[in-house]
Structure 1
Amino acid sequence: MKNIAEAKFNLMPYCYLVKGAKRAAIYNLEDGDVYSINEESRELLEELNKGISIGDSFNRVSRHFPVSMEEIIEFVQELVKESLGTIHYGEKMISINQIPKLEPTLSFLWLELTQLCNLRCLHCYAESAPNLSNPIKIRESGWIRVIKEAHNLGCRKIQFIGGEPFMVKKLLFTLIQEARDIGYKFIEVYTNATLIKEQDLEFLRNNQVKLAVSIYGSIPLIHDIITQKQGSFVKTIDIIRKLIEKEIPFRIGIVEMKQNSAFIKSTITYLNELGVLKKNIKVDIVRSSGRGCNKNLMDPKLVYRQSKHKASFLKCSSSKFQKAISGHNCFFDKLCVSENGDVFPCIMEKRVVLGNISYSTLAEIYNSDKAKQTRFLTKDKIEICQDCEYRYCCFDCRVMAKSLYAKPSNCFYNPYTGEWRDYNKYKIEGGDEYVGAKKGN
């Protein structure tokens, strides 16, 4: 029988060891699972990856950590059992698959056509309202130029948003037609649906336009409190029924806040009964952007749910990992153009202005040093996050950070101790109820 101490161990080709300041994580890109390992296990794998035998690796690790050979063997065998590695007696090491960094391509464009809105929602990221006055607006020809330039950059997905896009319906329909004629594959309008007329539905269907519709409750009382417009619920639901009837594709966006948190389940049930499929309903806790920074929209339960207080992440596929090592999960392939021509890396990230289409082409802005700085903003460049083993599986929303390079305020993990800070203790010590980034900070 061969002596296992003389054997060598390698991670499987689809597994990657990501080191943190204290601990490390093994990313299994075949099934998407991420395994957290302690300090001594990290050092052991580093030694084994050099092609050193299990016995020799134990000798090196045991100089710094109180571990036994039996524990080392048990750990290695557990990795084999989980299909994370293999034991062999040959000289040849198994090569880890090399994942090249992605070449950036603009794939999605937000066009914020207006800041005007017939509603005044409590949480609006854009701080839209019915009576706003913006003297600087992009003309129709300017919007058309942007749509063409984005298409030339490779963009095939576009969303028209506001404000409320139907406040400028003539412009909206002109741009939809332009986008369809140019060859965009995905065209969506984000709307509260209260201004849509029945005759508009035919145009939307003929141009294969998808809608994203905001709803906040299953009864007028809840929905209208949030929109601050009596009768808005009835109008929105009426259009939802017609969208179902005319088979126009749409999805529902529910922003959860203190005012409607207790009614989210009943709202989803109500929408299901109307005929809206569960897969087409998304619930998102209010983000700290615009009026969403108002602390009165949050309560401790929502803050807790929005926080990262344990090692719970979505599956990390090979494509997700590749994007994470290449650039920012949102900024990498998206741009937003506002009503006054300012270009941002994200619809909610208004602290970073990349340029203005009145003075530069979209290509010039996209290829600028400032745009590249945000596009290639991986977690390796974020304070504290750069030393975290979870940095490639953790979704990063810059809105939840107090500056472009700061660790998100809602994360309670300390990579230098390898421990998750107790949220309840944080509250007792007087931590902020609503941590996030305010506009202009």
Structure 2
Amino acid sequence: MANRHPARSARTRESGNPHNPGAVLQTWPVQSETAALRTEKKTVLIFAAHNVFGAGQNPAPNQSFGGNMLSTQTKRTTCIGDHLFIVEGAKHWALYDLKEETLISIDLDSGELLWALAQEASPSEEKLVFLTKHAEAIMELAEQSGIADRLFLPDTSSAEAIPLLEYLWLEVTDQCNHKCIHCYGDFCIRLKNFMKLEVAKRILSQARAMGCQWVQFVGGEPFMHRQLWEMIEYAVELGFPDIEIFTNLTLLKEEDINRIKAYNIHIATTLLGHNAEVHDACTQIPGSFNRWYRNIKKIQALGIDFRIGVVRMQQNENDMEEIEAFLRREDLLVADEEFEPDDVRPTGRGCNNAVEPRAPLQYDFFFTVTPQFFHQARKSNPCWRGEMAVSAEGKVFPCVFSRQTTFGDANQDGITPAVQTLQQQCWVITLDNVDRCRDCEYRYACMDCRELSISSGHGLHGRQPRCQYDPYSDE
């Protein structure tokens, strides 16, 4: 059930990362002369500037290491050592240790001091002596956090070069044999749009030429398209490293499953209930659960790579424990893999109030603290960057959920102009451009979803509604 999507796979929780247990959010507890602000959730380093510099005197602005210690409206980011960066927020700073994939929360005064030291051209040894003499608590805690030997050294972290286009959703048809009550695309059996084979081949060829690594064939239900396998085989010929089919599994034949195995194709599917009563009520197709179960077990038996998404809505929100138990009992969710349902997206039929869960899911903080993610997040949107979706009608969207605005016509122009438009209008939206997020110290470790902001009425640059963290809080 783990999301194989490369852009989302290495997620770090505040309490730890199931993919990398070392990636955690830490705080610096303070002893002796410094004061500590203690809450139920965390302990944050707090001390006044006059305690840092000693004798109640701050250095004058023109003194070495002093600088201007006043906060500015523009939230700052700077390197303070090898694989070490600090990012300013409204009430706190965050120290990003990109080597150990760790976040450390620090207070404003500590951040100001480290920022000022980082701006000085003095040798690193002098800065360490200064910390030892005037801010012993910071130095001790840096040693406890395992970063002291890298403080103020030249940074060697870097991000690998990435393709212009990384991920492509190819909606080969809008026709579907299900009538799922939450469907983001309003897909159903009455729709008759099928992507032409030559159009699909041109899109695939152009995408691969741009370095695209991942393509998902999706619908509607992709197995409604009679030429689906010709499209997939062409993607195989082009050398796409990661090919996935998103399917409800109900139309698969033995021949299809054998081909999936032969071509090493990945499967993505959705489970809406732990039994036929719940699942079929959501798909509105009797027998859909039994057909789904029969084919997922065949796929499992052949060792085909698969992932299962669970969409949480009003009709199944009270069944999450039973769904998780079912998945684990059937070995469809392995022991060390977390159960991560996703609330229905408010788009398409998902906008219906009768589908929206009565109690929204409370999401944990997810952080990714790697050189690749950090450096990329400072320049581009952590979700949309490098992604595009093409509908059966040739319309180009930033992703399969964001369907309000069209950014190109693949039937007429191919995808090259659309990629340029997406790059200029969507991919460049960093969290520095987003309300509230721009004041958050974790903005370069956090995943984003512009579509959730748009569909929830907050606009293109509005806050992501599922985030519960308040950067303006003293806690």
**Within the alignment, does 1:35 sit opposite 2:104 as a pair?**
yes
CA contact (8 A) 2:402 2:451 kept: yes
CA contact (8 A) 2:222 2:228 kept: yes
- Structure 1, unmatched stretches of 5+, are 59-68, 421-441
User: Shift in Å at residue 372 of structure 1?
Assistant: 2.6
Match of residue 136 from structure 2: 73
The CA distance in 2 between the partners of 1:254 and 1:296, in whole Å, is 18
1:56–1:82 CA distance, 2 compared to 1 (3 A):
closer
The CA distance in 2 between the partners of 1:73 and 1:167, in whole Å, is 68
Q: Once the two structures are superposed, what CA deviation does each residue of 1:54-107 show, in whole Å capped at 9, x if it has no partner?
A: 89989xxxxxxxxxx98x43233212221233599xxxx522346469555212
**Within the alignment, does 1:109 sit opposite 2:163 as a pair?**
no
3-state SS of the aligned residue for 1:223? helix
3-state SS of the aligned residue for 2:244? strand
- Given candidates 268, 271, 282, the residue that maps to 1:226 is 282
Match of residue 171 from structure 1: 227
The CA distance in 2 between the partners of 1:411 and 1:280, in whole Å, is 19
The CA distance in 2 between the partners of 1:281 and 1:360, in whole Å, is 41
Give me the TM-score of the superposition, normalised by structure 2. Answer: 0.74
Match of residue 360 from structure 2: 302
Q: Percent identity?
A: 29
Alignment of 1:300-339 (within 5 A): 301-303=359-361, 305-306=362-363, 312-339=365-392
- Given candidates 465, 469, 473, the residue that maps to 1:409 is 465
CA contact (8 A) 2:82 2:150 kept: no
Give me the TM-score of the superposition, normalised by structure 1. Answer: 0.80
The CA distance in 2 between the partners of 1:28 and 1:56, in whole Å, is 22
Root-mean-square deviation over aligned CA pairs: 3.1
The CA distance in 1 between the partners of 2:160 and 2:260, in whole Å, is 38
User: Shift in Å at residue 300 of structure 1?
Assistant: 5.3
1:250–1:411 CA distance, 2 compared to 1 (3 A):
closer
The CA distance in 2 between the partners of 1:294 and 1:419, in whole Å, is 37
Match of residue 246 from structure 1: 302
**Within the alignment, does 1:272 sit opposite 2:324 as a pair?**
no
3-state SS of the aligned residue for 2:354? helix
CA contact (8 A) 1:224 1:233 kept: yes
The CA distance in 2 between the partners of 1:333 and 1:244, in whole Å, is 31
- Structure 2, unmatched stretches of 5+, are 1-51, 55-63, 67-78
1:195–1:138 CA distance, 2 compared to 1 (3 A):
closer
The CA distance in 2 between the partners of 1:361 and 1:299, in whole Å, is 39
Q: Once the two structures are superposed, what CA deviation does each residue of 1:298-357 show, in whole Å capped at 9, x if it has no partner?
A: 445434x14x7xxx3334122221221231122212211111101112121113322111
The CA distance in 2 between the partners of 1:246 and 1:104, in whole Å, is 32
| Matched residue type, 1:233 | F
**Within the alignment, does 1:50 sit opposite 2:119 as a pair?**
yes
The CA distance in 1 between the partners of 2:224 and 2:128, in whole Å, is 72
The CA distance in 2 between the partners of 1:56 and 1:301, in whole Å, is 53
User: Shift in Å at residue 231 of structure 1?
Assistant: 0.9
CA contact (8 A) 2:82 2:156 kept: yes
Match of residue 24 from structure 2: none
Q: Once the two structures are superposed, what CA deviation does each residue of 1:211-234 show, in whole Å capped at 9, x if it has no partner?
A: 112112221111111111111101
The CA distance in 2 between the partners of 1:299 and 1:211, in whole Å, is 27
Q: Once the two structures are superposed, what CA deviation does each residue of 1:190-225 show, in whole Å capped at 9, x if it has no partner?
A: 011111122322222222222112112221111111
User: Shift in Å at residue 11 of structure 1?
Assistant: 4.1
